[in-house]
Each structure stands twice: as structure tokens, then as C-alpha cells.
Structure 1
Amino acid sequence: MARRFVHAALAAVAVAATALTACTGPATGGGEAGTVNVYLYQEPVGVFSPLAPASGPDLQVMSMIDEGLLAVDPQYDLKPMLASGYQVSPDAKTFTFTLREGLKWSDGTPFSSADVLFTYERMADKNSGSATAGNYSNVAGFSAPDESTFVIEAKTPDIGLLALIGIVNIMPKHVLGEVPVGSLAKHEFFRKPTVGMGPYTFVDYQTNQYVHVTRNDNYRAPASIKDIYLKPLTSDVATAQLGNGGIDIASYSPTDAETVNGLDTVESQEIKGAGFVRIGLNQSKPEFADQRVRQALLHGVNRKEIVDKVLFGKALVQNSNFYAENTPPGLNDYAYDPPKARQLLAAAGWDANRTIVLQWVPGQRDRDAAATIVQNQLQAIGVKVELKQVQSSQITPSLDDKSYDMLLYGGGNYAVDSSSVNAITACSLRYPEGANQNFFCDPELDEIMRQANSTADETQRKTLYDQAALRENEQADLMWLYSPFGLWAVNKRIENFQAPGSQEFPFWAPGTWKVRG
């Protein structure tokens, strides 16, 4: 029965794909030297701002035009970017960054610690519209002792603070410094951010077509590529354009691996993912507040078969928010068990006449297929699911009014430091205060995470995070699906591209990319 669902889902996706046409826009891919076309897995929201809720395609655009003090490299290590280095005090309460010398904004204005101070003060101020203001709750203060030094003071020891807020993209004070705090998040600049610190400068965003960025000649090491066009396409169309030169760089679905491997113009890169695809359950609604219901939904879906049949083994079944290599033994694997799922639902008093809506942004073949499989398999245990395709811009309103039931989405990077899990589980970081979009809350888990992050001893931290993972796994705060591998196809004319951990991740060092010959 489950296998029929998988095959039917894939067939439905394939039929739908034949009706889709490629987005228009520059198609110079393999023909014009100095121009590169890059696939975006979804249409951007179009608000290219560090203040906005995280959106994968928007973050990918921002990785071209903006930079932070630090960034996460393809090995999931923190690397200095606008900072030349940093120091952490022995008590893990003071974080001191030294900025690179001689940096300029893309419009030629000198960059300094005043820009960094301005950015962090606005990011920490919920009145600015910052979607991650809650991440700064343990910050005692910021300071800029001189033009090349920036300091963060924490209230209590906070080892994970670097990974949590050190990668924030810096905003130009000379452009935005006079904007009233309450108007900042909605300022028109973020729709067309033509001043930045990245290797490229924003030119234009044509909805449903492309985002155009061009070389920033004031960057510390100007890029050799003149123009990049980032194109939102469905995954099957992107794969087809890899073959005809319309796209140079693209993530691809495992279902397209045979096609991609048969293209003599591209090379493939594969990397283990640091995030995961999940279904968020709106726990502000009483029907999802009972953990037995959440556990039942996990038992009711054959996640291993999704990995094996839809992703052809190019993913791992996820059973926790924590990065797989950092999880302890003993996690409940929530194996596919429909009778147990029905038993849990009955014990929780589930109303079999209730219909819940599962929404997702279409266009990635694995997610499209997963949505259909989830619908069918939950139906088999007595849970009626209605599928609803939405665009990225429609998700935020459903979070604002807490109206959504189930939301299928992916992303996150939980490999850099286990403390990052707190961002999606903490009671204090429930949306709009932070990235806890499921409105989950467990004070006991919060306390374990707090203790772990305030402990300098790595062995003790590991012990505490293991406790946290076990408790979070039992709570089933999310309907975890799978952690996909990052699969990327790159035209052989492109040099220095390094695959991100997944299709949602920001691009690493795009200023170093080159076009051969």
C-alpha cells in the first residue's frame, strides 16, 4: 500500500512537471563569458533584509550582496568574513571582533564598527520589526570601542552566541541610520538593496523571472564574473536547463540524478545536509497540543520509504532537531506503525471528522511527492488532510495570525553548534519573537538547553545536549521527515564553486567563482 502511494506521488509530480514552462530572463548561461545563471529553488519573498523571517531563496540572494562578521563554510565551521578574527573571553561572556582594514561599501563609503553596532542594535530591538530579536535576549550590550573593534557582552556564559548571531548580515548605517526604528523593517531599501558589502551588488528583481546582481568593484577582492542571474524555477525545469546551458549552477533532485550524470557539460557535488525537511504542527491549536497526536503522525508516515523511493537514499531519516552526528543513542525512531498511530490517536481523542490543511511551496520534486504521500498515509490512519500549495510570501501571514495547521518546509543549520536548536524550540522564541514557528513550548527543555549553552566544558555540554535531544525527541515537537544531502550540478566552465549543505543554504564565497577561458 505504501509503495503504491510513493509511485503514485512521483507520477503525479512528473505529470505536473510537463505542464510547467521555464521562467524567462537572460539565458546566456554557457554562451557569454562573464555571465552565470544560478537556480533558485523557490521564488524569493523579495525582502532582502536581515530583519525579515528567514527565507532560503532570499538568503541565497543576500549571500551575493551582503556579508556578516562571520559565515558558515561548507564544512560547517565558522569563518571570519567582515571580521579578520575574534576572541572569546574565558567565561564566554565577552566576544570581541576585529574588523578587516580598508573595507568599503559598494557605493564607496568606508565601512566601520559603527555599521556593525547599528545593525546589532536594530536586530536586537523588536520595535524594529526584527524577526529574530529573541535571539538577543541574553545580550547585555554592544559596543564599538574604535572603528575596527566590535564587542558583544552576554548576561551569562553563552558559548553558542557566535553561531546564533555572529553571521548576521550587516546593514549600511549611512543609508538606514536615520530611518525611524518602527519603520525600518518595511523600508523600501530592502526591496532594492543596492548598497552592500558582498562581492556583488543588487541590480533588479523581476518577479517569476530572475534576480540580477553585478560585480561590486569596491569589494575587497573583486569577483571575476561580471553578472549573475538567480532564477526561480521548478527543479525539473532547472535540470533541463542544465543540459541546454540555460542554467550553470543548480541543486537537483535525486530523481534527476541519472539525467544529471548523463550530461557531459556538468559535474556533480554531494554534501551531507546540516538541516532537514519537516512538517511544522501549529501547537497553538489544541488538536496538536497533545504529544500523543504528534507521535501518532510520525508513526503514521513511512519516512524511510520516502528516503529510499523518493530520494533514492540521498537523505537520512530525521528523528530530532539536532544534527544527526550529534545525537545520542536511544532516540525513538518512530518507525512506520499504522496500528500504533491509530492507538495513540484514539487515546488522545482525535476527531476523525476533522480535516487539517497541509500547505507547502511547490516546485521541489521530493517535497511535492512527500506532501502527497503524507496525505495518503495519514488518511489511512484516520487523519483527513487537505493539500494546499502556497507561495513563499503567503507563509508569513499564516504565521502572523496562527491560522495554519501543517506546514511542510526545510532548512536550518544545526551542525555548527547544537545551541542553534534552541532557536526553533525555545518558548521565548515562538514566532514572531524568533524562529519557533510551531509555537512549541517545553520549559524543562529550555532549562536543559540553557545549562548546556552556559557550560564551557565540552564534555559536560555534550552530556546536557544529549539529554535535550532525548527529551525533544520524546516531545515530537516537529514532524521530522528527512535530512537531504546537498546535490549540486555545476557547469564545467565554472571554477571554485563549493556545494552548500542543501538547496536552501546561502552560497559560500561566490566572489571566488570563476568562468574558465
Structure 2
Amino acid sequence: MKQRSKRVKALLLVFTTLTIALSGCGNAGDETGGKNSSQITVGIAQDLEDSLDPHKAEAAGTREILFNVFEGLYKPDSDGNLVPAVASGYEVSDDGLVYTFTLRDGVKFHNGNPVTAADVKSSLETCADSSSGSALIPAFSNITSIETPDDKTVVITLAEADADFLSYVAGVKAAIVPADNADPDADPIGTGPYKYVSRSVQENIKLESFADYWGGKPDIDEVTFKVCADTDSVVTSLNSGSIDMMAHLTTTQAKQLGDDYNVVEGTMNLVQGLYLNNSFEAFQNEQVRQALCYGIDRDEIIDMVSDGKGVKVGSSMFPNFRKYFEPELADKYSYDVDKAKELLAEAGYGDGFSFTITVPANYPQHVDTAQIIAEQLKKIGVTAEINQVEWNTWLDDTYGNRNFEATLVGVDASYFAASAMLSRFNADAKNNFINYSNPDYDAAYAAARSTADEDAQTAAYKQCEEILADTAASVYIQDLPDMVALNKKFTGYKCYPLYIQDIAQIKLADDQ
């Protein structure tokens, strides 16, 4: 492990010292999480700031909760397989253009109504609607027709074969909702194991088990997702019993838990990076972006922020995507201060420059990483100021309006396909928040999307990753470790290869 500088040590102590306060997650006695054998209280880092309508939900923190409420025709399991959900199975034509889904018998919405092919057609057409400029699920623009020959059959025809198509109908974004639900944001109705009960803004979201769930009623009857925006109070809230479970803890927080908790360790299934707004003057220059890649010591960051845990990455793909992940890209830019200075001089920035890193304040791993990066970049003559913002500000202004110079966050996948990580870097993608534009990238991505040959598609996606790395589109750091604290009253938590919290897997421990 690399020796930490005294200055950075002191800096990290500021951000990892836990304040003895209960204000962030409410008072210890204001919830009965875990006291009633059928209840669990789960801490979350921020309120759901975008939408309870699954088709419009963009934030990873929103989707990880809505996974419990909504389902697509298929859904991912904890091993990364796509398994039947609202559908019982499907057939695909020899040319890969026609998918015929058979709906599962006995699937009901949370309002008690049976799911019909008309509901599926309506939901998929909503996701494919491009009247506002682009489809909610861009890949659905490839759909030419959706037919319902009977109440149990849905036939989807594509313009071009797409080896990833099943993954697009297997996520929260492609959830099946009632065709007659006029306002799913205000009245979210799905088919999942839990149904929506209520929401108190900046306080909690409450769910209850769905007795008629096709997969069987889950063990835990009532779930409260409790907003814990004050990261300093999380450990105190866990140890006091105010919350029973919390994901995305830092390694420092996990070490401070009492004996009442087990810690499940996985990864967050995201790419943490210093994402550079390529329209910012300095970052329009590829050599400047490459200089930052050489000037940042990712091994030191991983050691200091994550105690050496997590996986170093070199492009926009995390390890659980398995066949698409290229570990060798993580070593493309070895830490080299002299090389960084040389590139800056060649780019006309020999005297350095200044920029601002915008970071959501409720994610201590990102805040700590940004602080370390700021220290490291001083060695190459670059000054990075840190701007901590509330989550809703980051989501609306930084991500939505692209009003930033650089931002330190983790980018996740909304569905289990390589395109979920790579589509956002097309020049014309509506979620291309870093304003990246590269004709070679667009061509490689188009090649991946236009072939039904799995090997050819994989090769094209890897080419996309290599272009992002070669051009230093951003500074890719790691897939963060995910420490999940679960009170020993409960068992059964499973890590997924996506950013998901599957409460239906959790059960009461045998001794309760």
C-alpha cells in the first residue's frame, strides 16, 4: 500500500470522522424498524428526486427501490441471468426480428386487476414514444410494431436484429403498468413483490408486501426506506436501531458497526470516475484530458477511500458485465507526473489551469475521492476546487442541465446490457451529460447495435470502451466496494450485478 501524505491523511480525517448525531436519519425512536417481526427499515442516502413513474426514473437510487415495485416482461436475478417475470417465456424468429412473448398466468397489478397484453403494449409503446425527441428507452426506437393477437400474447417486431433486445424488456425502465393509469408518478402501480403505500418528502418511502404476487408473498410485510442524507449519522442510526439495513457504506463506516450487524460485501456495479465536461475549454483538448489521467493515482485513491477494496477500471464498463469488461484498460494510464506535465505543456497549459469538481455531498466515497484528486493534481500544476451540492441539485443542474466542468460520481446501468453503459456517449444521446463527441465512437457503437452476431457485437462494444480510454473521455477510477449492513434479525440479502436492492430476498433469521 502506498504511503499517505500527511496532508491527505489530515484531509481524509475530516471526512471520515463520524459525528455523534441523529439528525440525518431522524431520532432513534421515531420508527419501529425491526421491532415488529414483519417490518424492516432501510436507510437510503437521498430522497427519490426524479419520478416514481418507472419509465421516467433516471437516478440509480430511485431504480434500486422501484425494482421492488415494478417488473418488466423479464427481470435480472442475482447471478445476472434474465429470467421470466410478467412473461412466462418467449420465442424469437430465425432472423431475430420477431419476439413473441407469452404472458404468465395469474399476474396481477397491485390494484388487483389482471395484467393483459393490452397493458404490455401500452407500457412498451410509452417507452418507445419519440414524440418528445427520443424514446425513453433509446433501443425501443428499433421497434416497428407491437401486436396483441390475444390477451396472453405480445408480438414485437424489430427493424433490425438486436442480440440485446431481451435485456431492454427486463428492467425497471420497461416496467409493465396498467394501461389506464393516467398518472403513474402520483399513483405507482406495478406487479412486483411490494406495492407502494406512501411517501413523505425528504423523510421516507413506505411499501408493503403484495399478497397476490405471482412469485409468492415475500417474508417481510412492511418496508420503510428512510432518508439518511446526513452521512455522519448513519453509523449511529444503525447502532441505535433506528434503521435495520444500509447499503453503500464506506469501509470506515462498516468498521464502526456494533455486534448486531452482519456486513455483506460486494461491489456497487458502477463506474466511479472524474467525469469531464468535454465542452469546457480545457477539456476540449484530448491531451489535457490524458494529462489528468496520468496525474491521478488511482491505486492511492482505492487504498485511501476503500482500504484497497473495489476493482480498478479504465473505461465505462464495470466487472460484472463479464464478457464486455476489459481489465487491461485499467493500466492504460499509469501514474506519471512527468508525463502529465509534458502533455499539459504540449497542449498549451504549461502553467496549469483551474477547474471545479462538482460532487454530491451525500456520497462520502465520492467526496473523499474528489478531495484526494484535488491534492494529487497540485503536483502537475492543476488546481481543482470542490463544489459539494445536494443530490437534487446535482441531478437537475449538473446532470440534467450539464452545468459543470467536472463531476465525481458513479455511473451505473439501468439494464443488464453493455449498451446501458455505452449508449450515453453517442454524440446525440440525450443523456450524454459529458458532451462527448467522437465519430469513430459513434461508428463503433452503431456497428454493435446493428449486428445480431454476439461475437461481433461484443467486439464492437469493446472497441467503444477502447476509444473512450484512448481519448480520455473522462478519468475512470473504480467500481466501488459495496458494504451492506444488515441487522442480524434478518438474513438472505443478495448482491446483484446491477444497482439493485431486492428486499423480497430478505427473511427473518431463524432465531427471531
Q: TM-score, normalised by structure 1?
A: 0.87
Residues 97-122 of structure 1: per-residue CA shift (max 9 Å, x gap): 22211222111122112122112212
Deviation at 1:375, TM superposition (A): 2.0
Aligned to 1:374: 373
Q: Structure 1 residues 29 and 401, CA, compared in 2 at 3 Å: closer, same or farther?
A: closer
Deviation at 1:270, TM superposition (A): 2.1
Is 1:290 the counterpart of 2:296? The answer is no
Is 1:172 the counterpart of 2:165? The answer is no
Aligned to 2:445: 449
Is 1:392 the counterpart of 2:391? The answer is yes
Q: Secondary structure at the match of 2:357?
A: strand
C-alpha separation between the residues in 2 aligned to 1:472 and 1:414? 20
Contact (CA 8 Å) 1:51, 1:130: kept in 2 or not?
no
Is 1:339 the counterpart of 2:328? The answer is no
Q: Structure 1 residues 414 and 223, CA, compared in 2 at 3 Å: closer, same or farther?
A: closer
Aligned to 2:145: 141
C-alpha separation between the residues in 1 aligned to 2:413 and 2:399? 21
Is 1:57 the counterpart of 2:61? The answer is yes
Aligned to 1:182: none
Contact (CA 8 Å) 1:141, 1:153: kept in 2 or not?
yes
Percent identity of equivalent pairs: 26
Deviation at 1:165, TM superposition (A): 4.5
Q: Structure 1 residues 292 and 137, CA, compared in 2 at 3 Å: closer, same or farther?
A: farther
Aligned to 2:39: 35
Contact (CA 8 Å) 1:284, 1:402: kept in 2 or not?
no
C-alpha separation between the residues in 2 aligned to 1:423 and 1:87? 26
Q: Pick from 258, 277, 288 the counterpart of residue 255 of structure 2.
A: 258
C-alpha separation between the residues in 1 aligned to 2:435 and 2:362? 27
Residues 70-116 of structure 1: per-residue CA shift (max 9 Å, x gap): 22222222222212222333333223322211222111122112122
Stretch moving more, 121-130 or 224-233: 121-130
Is 1:320 the counterpart of 2:324? The answer is no
C-alpha separation between the residues in 1 aligned to 2:478 and 2:351? 27
Q: Pick from 470, 477, 482 the counterpart of residue 474 of structure 1.
A: 470
Q: Secondary structure at the match of 2:68?
A: helix
Residues 138-192 of structure 1: per-residue CA shift (max 9 Å, x gap): 232323332222233222121122224432222321112xxxxxxxxxx5x41x3
Deviation at 1:236, TM superposition (A): 4.6
Contact (CA 8 Å) 2:22, 2:236: kept in 1 or not?
no
C-alpha separation between the residues in 2 aligned to 1:284 and 1:212? 41
Q: Structure 1 residues 15 and 173, CA, compared in 2 at 3 Å: closer, same or farther?
A: same
Aligned to 2:410: 410
Q: Tell me, which stretches of 5 or more residues in structure 1 are unaligned?
A: 177-186
Q: Pick from 268, 293, 296 the counterpart of residue 263 of structure 2.
A: 268
Contact (CA 8 Å) 2:64, 2:500: kept in 1 or not?
yes
Deviation at 1:351, TM superposition (A): 8.4
Q: Structure 1 residues 294 and 97, CA, compared in 2 at 3 Å: closer, same or farther?
A: farther
C-alpha separation between the residues in 1 aligned to 2:133 and 2:233? 36
Q: Structure 1 residues 428 and 164, CA, compared in 2 at 3 Å: closer, same or farther?
A: farther
Q: Structure 1 residues 16 and 245, CA, compared in 2 at 3 Å: closer, same or farther?
A: closer
Q: Secondary structure at the match of 1:427?
A: coil
Deviation at 1:383, TM superposition (A): 2.5
Q: Secondary structure at the match of 2:428?
A: helix
Q: Pick from 121, 124, 148 the counterpart of residue 128 of structure 2.
A: 124
C-alpha separation between the residues in 2 aligned to 1:306 and 1:497? 29
Q: Secondary structure at the match of 1:123?
A: helix
Aligned to 1:485: 481
C-alpha separation between the residues in 1 aligned to 2:232 and 2:90? 43
Contact (CA 8 Å) 1:6, 1:306: kept in 2 or not?
no
Q: Structure 1 residues 354 and 164, CA, compared in 2 at 3 Å: closer, same or farther?
A: farther
C-alpha separation between the residues in 2 aligned to 1:461 and 1:51? 26
C-alpha separation between the residues in 2 aligned to 1:4 and 1:42? 32
Q: Structure 1 residues 333 and 418, CA, compared in 2 at 3 Å: closer, same or farther?
A: same
Q: Secondary structure at the match of 2:26?
A: coil
Q: Structure 1 residues 171 and 280, CA, compared in 2 at 3 Å: closer, same or farther?
A: farther
Equivalent position amino acid for 1:427 in 2: A
Is 1:24 the counterpart of 2:19? The answer is no
Q: Give the alignment of 1:197-276 within 5 angstroms.
A: 197-220=191-214, 221-233=216-228, 234-251=230-247, 252-260=249-257, 263-276=258-271
Contact (CA 8 Å) 1:322, 1:414: kept in 2 or not?
no
Stretch moving more, 213-222 or 10-19: 10-19
Equivalent position amino acid for 1:253 in 2: T
Where does structure 1 differ by over 6 angstroms across 4 or more consecutive aligned residues? Answer: none
Q: TM-score, normalised by structure 2?
A: 0.88
Contact (CA 8 Å) 2:57, 2:63: kept in 1 or not?
no
Q: Pick from 490, 493, 505 the counterpart of residue 494 of structure 1.
A: 490
Aligned to 1:365: 364
Aligned to 2:94: 90
Equivalent position amino acid for 1:342 in 2: K
Q: Structure 1 residues 363 and 17, CA, compared in 2 at 3 Å: closer, same or farther?
A: farther
Equivalent position amino acid for 2:507 in 1: K
Deviation at 1:417, TM superposition (A): 3.4
Deviation at 1:315, TM superposition (A): 0.8
Q: Pick from 135, 154, 174 the counterpart of residue 158 of structure 2.
A: 154
Aligned to 1:302: 297
Q: Structure 1 residues 437 and 488, CA, compared in 2 at 3 Å: closer, same or farther?
A: same
Contact (CA 8 Å) 1:48, 1:61: kept in 2 or not?
no
C-alpha separation between the residues in 2 aligned to 1:458 and 1:162? 13
Aligned to 1:513: 506
Residues 328-373 of structure 1: per-residue CA shift (max 9 Å, x gap): 4753521222222222222223485754221121223321211111
Q: Pick from 268, 271, 274 the counterpart of residue 279 of structure 1.
A: 274
Deviation at 1:257, TM superposition (A): 3.2
Q: Pick from 88, 105, 109 the counterpart of residue 105 of structure 1.
A: 109
Contact (CA 8 Å) 1:67, 1:197: kept in 2 or not?
yes
Q: Structure 1 residues 8 and 498, CA, compared in 2 at 3 Å: closer, same or farther?
A: same
C-alpha separation between the residues in 1 aligned to 2:107 and 2:457? 37
* Number of aligned residue pairs: 496
Equivalent position amino acid for 1:202 in 2: Y
C-alpha separation between the residues in 1 aligned to 2:75 and 2:113? 23
Aligned to 1:349: 348
